[in-house]
A and B are shown apart, each in its own frame.
Chain A
């Protein structure tokens, strides 16, 4: 009951927020929502599958580039460009999964990094297609059912709807029987295969699913910025996703959302006041890891329980 009340309060806050706030904060929150989808998809691999990826920016970036190129080079509207970009990126995830999942642990990390670096390098060097370091400009936001998303508030609601749907879909995935098996492969892969679970296939399916939701965040990303630059495919972007998951709490549903908010607030809001925001991000991360080694969400949950227990004793 209490949980439902909290959820209703949160929903009211998210829906009502643009009415009470300026455009700057509405835009900032849109970016947090987009990044939360990205971080949640990283969390599928890292938190639930125990597969540390340093190449997840590949899916965000490729979906964004595909959608941009389909519009710029072929003149496709988003009704065609979006599904084609999602499909293309997902197929890429199918292929990348075959390569990256030849290893687990550090080997997996290095393979995902290598694959995404190839794409990053390509985006930089294939100037005739991507315009290299200049990035692709002249993009437009879609206008679903005639709703103009150029308005900050309209885009916010669009991003909110997509984020809620995406995260709900990922939450269902991890709480399904398949999700239980996925967590099993994270904790005891050998035991799982002895029990009849196809560990490789479980990981591959998760890899592809995570790639798909990474692509969804990429579409929102390119719609929001109306611009795409190779930096979206970079190691930095992948690492920020990983950082958000670890800081927020990997293997929890709320963790990546909280982590995404932390990273985005530091990156966009604090950076307006402090030039070396990267240093601050590093500092905040170190503090989180020292005091809440499994992330903010599990850390705060424990803190609340401790306060409750102390209060119970006092009475």
Chain B
């Protein structure tokens, strides 16, 4: 079976300081993969290399068998890659619906239409409302993002990525900074992502996300230290070493 995401020998250094050091990993289609590691382990850098926000120094990144490591970020999105950000990156002045429309527009041919007005009755808007209904935010569709609670913004982040029906979805600390109730609702949302979508999720805090993963990769100083099933990783002494500093 072709891996949904296959990374091989990936390297990235910032001014001589290696941030990602020879990382290789494979995520199978439909898998739920958790990448954990302490602060500065290179988790977000790894995501940025996969999406193309950062240029890799060496190595290859394959999406469903296709080498995407030289493609511009927007082309990777068209190949079926979507992401969320650790620091919420939405369009705060625009309505929820408009945020989702921008997401749908990214993969739609009509994004190059320069003279027909973007009508609120367009199929994009209908689809956006459906997406919002799926994440339980349709009652807020016309509200500007700036008026939302933090947990709701997190759900919009995920909804924006899901709207594109990605093949591989990268979630960057989707639970960070949430209250317990908000965390439960976001977790529920992630658990409801269809199996066609491969999910790779970064978490800083190991305990909060353990139950959501099938396989876990532990990243430390830019290298993969441990990889395996949940039980294997938890039992591994190197995991404890990284997290407890012993």
| Residue positions of A touching B, CB distance < 8 A | 172-173, 175-181, 184, 187-188, 190-199, 205, 209
User: What are 9 A-B interface contacts by the 8 Å CB criterion?
Assistant: A173-B114, A176-B115, A178-B113, A184-B91, A193-B52, A193-B77, A195-B105, A197-B111, A198-B74
Give A184's nearest chain B residue, CB to CB. B102
Give B92's nearest chain A residue, CB to CB. A187
- Chain A proximity mask over B103-116: 1 for CB below 8 Å, otherwise 0: 10111101111111
CA distance A199 to B52 in the complex (A): 14
Q: Is the C-beta of B160 less than 8 angstroms from some C-beta in chain A?
A: yes
Q: Is the C-beta of B151 less than 8 angstroms from some C-beta in chain A?
A: no
Output the least CB separation between B232 and chain A (Å). 32
Q: How many residues of B contact A (CB 8 A)?
A: 36
Does B107 lie within 8 Å of A176, measured CB to CB?
no
Contact among B77, B112, B160 with A178 in the assembled complex (CB-CB below 8 Å): B112
Does A178 lie within 8 Å of B111, measured CB to CB?
yes
Q: Is the C-beta of B194 less than 8 angstroms from some C-beta in chain A?
A: no
Residues of chain A within 8 A (CB-CB) of B108 are 177
Task: Label chain A's interface by main secondary structure.
Answer: helix
Residues of chain A within 8 A (CB-CB) of B98 are 180
> A191-B89, A192-B102, A197-B105 are known contacts. Are A175 and B117 too (CB-CB below 8 A)?
yes
Q: Is the C-beta of B34 less than 8 angstroms from some C-beta in chain A?
A: no
Output the least CB separation between A188 and chain B (Å). 6
> A187-B93, A188-B91, A196-B77 are known contacts. Are A177 and B106 too (CB-CB below 8 A)?
no
Does B111 lie within 8 Å of A181, measured CB to CB?
yes
Beyond A188-B89, A193-B74, 5 additional pairs, beta carbon < 8 A: A180-B102, A181-B102, A195-B106, A197-B105, A198-B72
Contact among B74, B82, B89, B115 with A199 in the assembled complex (CB-CB below 8 Å): B74
Residues of chain A within 8 A (CB-CB) of B85 are 191
- Chain A proximity mask over B212-233: 1 for CB below 8 Å, otherwise 0: 0000000000000000000000
CA distance A188 to B83 in the complex (A): 14
Does B78 lie within 8 Å of A196, measured CB to CB?
yes
CA distance A173 to B115 in the complex (A): 5
Does B78 lie within 8 Å of A180, measured CB to CB?
no
Does B89 lie within 8 Å of A177, measured CB to CB?
no
Does B116 lie within 8 Å of A193, measured CB to CB?
no
Residues of chain B within 8 A (CB-CB) of A175 are 117-118
Output the least CB separation between A190 and chain B (Å). 6
Does B73 lie within 8 Å of A193, measured CB to CB?
yes
Closest 7 A/B residue pairs (Cβ): A196-B106, A195-B106, A196-B77, A193-B73, A178-B114, A193-B74, A191-B89
Does B101 lie within 8 Å of A180, measured CB to CB?
yes
Give A197's nearest chain B residue, CB to CB. B106
Give A205's nearest chain B residue, CB to CB. B114
Residues of chain B within 8 A (CB-CB) of A176 are 113-118
Output the least CB separation between B160 and chain A (Å). 7
CA distance A194 to B166 in the complex (A): 12
Residues of chain B within 8 A (CB-CB) of A193 are 52-53, 72-74, 77
Give A187's nearest chain B residue, CB to CB. B91
Residues of chain B within 8 A (CB-CB) of A181 are 102, 105-106, 111
CA distance A184 to B92 in the complex (A): 11
Output the least CB separation between A48 and chain B (Å). 12
Residues of chain B within 8 A (CB-CB) of A188 are 89-91
Does B118 lie within 8 Å of A177, measured CB to CB?
yes
Residues of chain A within 8 A (CB-CB) of B92 are 187
Residues of chain A within 8 A (CB-CB) of B90 are 188, 191
Output the least CB separation between B46 and chain A (Å). 15
Output the least CB separation between A89 and chain B (Å). 19
**Chain A CB within 10 Å — which of B52, B114, B117, B164 has the most?**
B114
Residues of chain A within 8 A (CB-CB) of B198 are none
